[in-house]
Chains A and B, each alone.
Chain A
Amino acid sequence: MAKYLLLKHYRGAPSAVNDVPMDRWTPEEITAHMKYMNDFAARLEKSGEFVDAQALAPEGTFVQYDGEGRPPVTDGPFAETKDLIAGWMVIDVDSYERAVELAGELSAAPGAGGKPIHEWLELRPFLTAMPTITE
Chain B
Amino acid sequence: MNEALLRSLTPSVLGILVRRGADFAAAEDAVQDALVEAVRVWPADPPRDPKGWLITAAWRKFLDATRAETARRRREDLVDEEPAPGPAPSADDTLQLCFLCAHPSLTPSSAVALTLRAVGGLTTRQIARAYLVPEATMAQRISRAKRTVSGVRFDRPGDVATVLRVLYLVFNEGYSGDVDLAAEAIRLTRQLAAAIDHPEVSGLLALMLLHHARRAGRTASDGSLVPLAEQDRTRWDTGSIAEGVEILQAALARDRLGEFQAQAAIAALHADAPTAEETDWVQIVEWYDELAGLTDNPVVRLNRAVAIGEADGPRAGLAALATLDDSLPRHTAAAAYLHERAGDLTTAARLYAEAAGKAPTLPERDHLTRRAARLNAR
Residue of A nearest to B145 (CB): A48
Q: Complex: how many Å from CA A45 to CA B108? A: 17
Cβ-defined contact, A49 with B137, below 8 A: yes
Q: Which of A10-18, A105-113, A126-134 contacts B (4 or more CB under 8 A)?
A: A126-134
Q: How large is the interface on B (under 10, 10 to 19, 20 to 34, 35 or more residues)?
A: 35 or more
Cβ-defined contact, B172 with A132, below 8 A: yes
B134 in the interface (beta carbon within 8 A): yes
* A133 and B140 in contact, given A1-B108, A127-B365 (Cβ under 8 angstroms): no
Cβ-defined contact, B136 with A131, below 8 A: no
Cβ-defined contact, A131 with B361, below 8 A: yes
Residue of B nearest to A50 (CB): B137
Residues of B with C-beta under 8 A to A46: 140, 144
**Chain B, range 83-119, C-beta contacts under 8 Å to A:** 107-110, 112-113
A39 in the interface (beta carbon within 8 A): no
Residues of A with C-beta under 8 A to B141: 47-49
Cβ-defined contact, B137 with A132, below 8 A: no
Cβ-defined contact, A51 with B134, below 8 A: yes
Cβ-defined contact, B362 with A127, below 8 A: yes
**Chain B, range 47-77, C-beta contacts under 8 Å to A:** none
Cβ-defined contact, B361 with A92, below 8 A: no
Cβ-defined contact, A128 with B131, below 8 A: no
**Chain A, range 6-62, C-beta contacts under 8 Å to B:** 45-52
Residues of B with C-beta under 8 A to A130: 174, 218, 225, 361-364
Cβ-defined contact, B362 with A48, below 8 A: no
Residues of B with C-beta under 8 A to A122: none
Cβ-defined contact, A133 with B225, below 8 A: no
Residues of A with C-beta under 8 A to B142: 48
Q: Complex: how many Å from CA A129 to CA B134? A: 18
Residues of A with C-beta under 8 A to B137: 45, 48-51, 92
* A48 and B140 in contact, given A92-B109, A92-B133 (Cβ under 8 angstroms): yes
Chain A 60-96 near chain B by CB (<8 Å), digits 1 or 0:
0000000000000000000000000000000011100
Cβ-defined contact, A135 with B171, below 8 A: no
B251 in the interface (beta carbon within 8 A): no
Checking A3, A128, A131, A133 against B263 with a beta-carbon cut-off of 8 angstroms, the contacting residue is A133
* A50 and B134 in contact, given A45-B140, A133-B263 (Cβ under 8 angstroms): yes
Residues of A with C-beta under 8 A to B267: 133, 135
Interface centre among A1, A52, A93 (most CB of B within 10 A): A1
Cβ-defined contact, A132 with B140, below 8 A: no
Residues of B with C-beta under 8 A to A128: 360-362
The minimal Cβ–Cβ distance linking B107 to chain A, given in whole angstroms, is: 5
* A129 and B270 in contact, given A49-B137, A92-B137 (Cβ under 8 angstroms): no
Q: Complex: how many Å from CA A135 to CA B306? A: 9
B228 in the interface (beta carbon within 8 A): yes
B22 in the interface (beta carbon within 8 A): no
22 contacts between A and B (CB under 8 A): A1-B109, A1-B173, A45-B137, A47-B141, A48-B113, A48-B140, A49-B137, A50-B133, A127-B360, A127-B362, A128-B360, A129-B173, A129-B361, A129-B363, A130-B364, A131-B174, A131-B361, A132-B174, A133-B171, A133-B263, A133-B267, A135-B266
Q: Known contacts A48-B138, A130-B364, A132-B182; can you find 14 more A-B pairs with CB under 8 A?
A: A1-B109, A1-B173, A48-B110, A49-B141, A50-B134, A127-B359, A129-B363, A130-B174, A130-B218, A131-B173, A132-B173, A132-B212, A133-B267, A135-B267
Which residues in A have some Cβ–Cβ distance to B below 8 Å? 1, 3, 45-52, 92-94, 125, 127-133, 135
